[in-house]
Structure 1
């Protein structure tokens, strides 16, 4: 039998995902248990996608041609915008993990055909796997390697995505104490082992979601030094792009208005000089428009202070109905806003639903962004990335089927082409 060319093998691997999903979306995976997250934010105007996205969404999810076969755009290599030719997320497939590291996996495997078809709107889109201190130092290397091998499906040029949530203590606990010497040593070991697991595989890293908690730590020097170590270690890998969490358009520090200078202060302390750039909106709901505008101000701030040309990514997993943190309603009285109520009908306000699908072409017209924002996105944004996890309880654990089904039914972006 004649050998099958690698390009054909790659295409067959993609078709194995696309065909069973019929008209649904392709690509990825995610997640493990991690502590719940909570944050307080200052208000700013909610940045949403204009109403014209409804008319544009079918064009947005129209299939592209790959080797003569139609594929949804986020499951085919996308060229970089001319304004951002060095984009490391462009010109490559974004990986698809299907296995038990995804909290959705077991629910999907036991679901009926109708539920599976609905869940594919989430399951087969590229998503970011979160890793944290719930994995021991000796576990992270093999776990990361397994995730990469699975998501690459035999194509070593495919991009894998991870969020590093390893700092201990973090979030509100970080406001009361610093890492002990033992915890500091463990952190460095864990990061080195993660780096060994990644190796030369193309990888996107979101560094320490909920970055604004850095401002409340009792000893910012110690915590910042550890985060710089992680950023530098992972950025030194040959094909890894690190994006440090900078908060969101409505949150750079608890109790203060979000400003470019304050968000950039997090980045300067945690290694932005080594990183590709930064990440916006990991756990908030403000949407692409406001995050692109503030993120571009951060880019300008960093450039003016000698940090060069930095770029950023924006989470769009949960911004189908952009909402400021202070305006968001929790799912029930007494719940945290991390567990925001889901949109149960199209057009519902102050709720969460799925946003723009993952793409390395954030400035394209089909996303319905205002013209000035689309231009900023084409120049400064490497991608709309699904590193948020609104289908999980408190955006953490476990997977909640009803949340997922509500968002699948109400997202403005359901089609796969």
Structure 2
């Protein structure tokens, strides 16, 4: 029997599931050896059996938060596939209370965010002494009685970080606190099936005056969390338009972040946590990063791409703040479906990014089928400055203007 909360989501999503999925064709594809993995000893082309993947697509017609979705045939070890993605509904989430208190059309609109599986960010705002119990509660609620359900979280714990990381080193006390906190986080995750995004806004590592110390801490954290039995770590590597603070946007800089943060222990990397670029651009960036990692001896890695805010892909220089007083982190939301240079949700969470209904060009589909574990909502555009608090009008604007339903384009 389905858990009560999941059953309620199934019933409430019936109308969405009536949206027809775009016609499909065989999507068993072979990655281009010249573009990805040429230097990796673990590289091997996938077979071209379309029948198996066609059957998987048939089982993937429902959204991943309502039922398990099979992996692409080219990526059989995808840890995000084959299980429901849990959607946390509780007080740790800023969207939860406004959604539960809303009524009518507003409640239905907010459900498009509140009932989707999203990544919960944890940082120093959760004390060392309570991070374990906080995460334990989050896991239990997200799984809703299903121990096989996937939970998601982002580790945003390095202090200092962002702009301050470029001006002062981590103190010995902060380093000790970091290790204690991560150890307790790991204890809270335990045996749960977890996706962990390691340290969003990764490019700030490259400007740190104590890069070596921060590198050691991040590598230790990546190794610690990756050692958990069912946790997959994806280290933040920036975005299609952001590999390093300043003017350097070379993929070598993105790869350097990963190599300094323990990529040898991780499943792979994450792209676009706080920027607004689209899946096509990020798959191209990820392809270049894969090449570099393979050439540097790290073998075959995988990656995830945030699509929570890429319904209108926009490069950072072109972002328009919500008001003249705002930062680009608080970009203006789309108010019509034709509006450009604005923010609205993109492709819904899925471990099958190469399925035809998502509209990727053939070249990016080839890469996505084997190397992209999923489109994941780990960005938070409905929050002020992508941080806090929740802004209902932002959420409602975006829900009305997103080009995507749960199963494909509008």
After TM superposition, the score normalised by the length of structure 2 is 0.88
Structure 1, unaligned runs of 5 or more: 1-7, 26-56
Give distance in 2, aligned partners of 1:248 and 1:69. Answer: 28
Residues 395/303 of structure 1: CA separation in 2 closer, same or farther (3 Å cut): same
Q: Which residue of 1 aligns with 2:31?
A: none
Q: Do the aligned residues in 2 keep the contact of 1:61 with 1:415 (CA within 8 Å)?
A: no
Decide which moves more: 261-270 or 106-115. Answer: 106-115
Give distance in 2, aligned partners of 1:376 and 1:69. Answer: 19
Give distance in 2, aligned partners of 1:181 and 1:216. Answer: 19
Aligned residues: CA RMSD: 2.2
Give distance in 1, aligned partners of 2:280 and 2:291. Answer: 17
CA displacement at 1:256 relative to structure 2 = 2.3
CA displacement at 1:252 relative to structure 2 = 0.4
Q: Which residue of 2 aligns with 1:104?
A: 95
Give distance in 2, aligned partners of 1:349 and 1:146. Answer: 40
CA displacement at 1:16 relative to structure 2 = 2.0
CA displacement at 1:259 relative to structure 2 = 2.0
Is structure 2 residue 50 aligned with structure 1 residue 59? no
Is structure 2 residue 404 aligned with structure 1 residue 413? yes
Is structure 2 residue 178 aligned with structure 1 residue 216? no
Is structure 2 residue 67 aligned with structure 1 residue 85? no
What aligned pairs does 1:64-75 form with structure 2 within 5 A after superposition? 71-75=62-66
Give distance in 2, aligned partners of 1:392 and 1:371. Answer: 34
Give distance in 2, aligned partners of 1:98 and 1:74. Answer: 13
Deviation readout 1:88-146 (Å, 9 max, x if unpaired): 11111101111101101111122122100001111111110000000000111001110
Is structure 2 residue 161 aligned with structure 1 residue 170? yes
Is structure 2 residue 7 aligned with structure 1 residue 15? yes
SS in structure 1 of the partner of residue 133 of structure 2: helix
- Pick from 152, 155, 178 the counterpart of residue 161 of structure 1: 152
CA displacement at 1:300 relative to structure 2 = 1.4
Q: Which residue of 1 aligns with 2:313?
A: 322
Give distance in 2, aligned partners of 1:60 and 1:364. Answer: 10
Residues 83/174 of structure 1: CA separation in 2 closer, same or farther (3 Å cut): same
Residues 304/65 of structure 1: CA separation in 2 closer, same or farther (3 Å cut): closer
CA displacement at 1:385 relative to structure 2 = 0.2
Q: Which residue of 2 aligns with 1:46?
A: none
CA displacement at 1:317 relative to structure 2 = 0.3
- Pick from 326, 334, 349 the counterpart of residue 340 of structure 2: 349
Residues 214/61 of structure 1: CA separation in 2 closer, same or farther (3 Å cut): farther
Is structure 2 residue 391 aligned with structure 1 residue 400? yes
CA displacement at 1:287 relative to structure 2 = 0.7
CA displacement at 1:334 relative to structure 2 = 2.1
SS in structure 2 of the partner of residue 382 of structure 1: strand
Aligned residues: 377
Give distance in 2, aligned partners of 1:228 and 1:60. Answer: 42
CA displacement at 1:14 relative to structure 2 = 2.2
Q: Which residue of 1 aligns with 2:39?
A: none
Q: Do the aligned residues in 2 keep the contact of 1:24 with 1:120 (CA within 8 Å)?
A: no
Q: Do the aligned residues in 1 keep the contact of 2:21 with 2:61 (CA within 8 Å)?
A: no
Residues 60/212 of structure 1: CA separation in 2 closer, same or farther (3 Å cut): farther
Residues 251/358 of structure 1: CA separation in 2 closer, same or farther (3 Å cut): same
- Pick from 246, 252, 256 the counterpart of residue 243 of structure 2: 252
Residues 73/232 of structure 1: CA separation in 2 closer, same or farther (3 Å cut): closer
Residues 185/415 of structure 1: CA separation in 2 closer, same or farther (3 Å cut): closer
Q: Do the aligned residues in 2 keep the contact of 1:212 with 1:253 (CA within 8 Å)?
A: yes
SS in structure 2 of the partner of residue 279 of structure 1: strand
Give distance in 2, aligned partners of 1:161 and 1:299. Answer: 23
Q: Do the aligned residues in 1 keep the contact of 2:160 with 2:169 (CA within 8 Å)?
A: yes
What aligned pairs does 1:266-281 form with structure 2 within 5 A after superposition? 266-281=257-272
Q: Do the aligned residues in 2 keep the contact of 1:287 with 1:321 (CA within 8 Å)?
A: yes
Considering Cα pairs closer than 8 Å and 6+ residues apart, tell me whether 1 or 2 has the greater RCO: 1
Is structure 2 residue 298 aligned with structure 1 residue 336? no
- Pick from 285, 292, 296 the counterpart of residue 287 of structure 2: 296
Structure 2, unaligned runs of 5 or more: 25-54
CA displacement at 1:58 relative to structure 2 = 4.3
Deviation readout 1:240-268 (Å, 9 max, x if unpaired): 00000000000000122422211000000
What aligned pairs does 1:194-213 form with structure 2 within 5 A after superposition? 194-213=185-204
Q: Do the aligned residues in 1 keep the contact of 2:121 with 2:154 (CA within 8 Å)?
A: yes
Q: Which residue of 2 aligns with 1:117?
A: 108
Q: Do the aligned residues in 1 keep the contact of 2:333 with 2:397 (CA within 8 Å)?
A: yes
Residues 233/69 of structure 1: CA separation in 2 closer, same or farther (3 Å cut): closer
SS in structure 2 of the partner of residue 204 of structure 1: strand
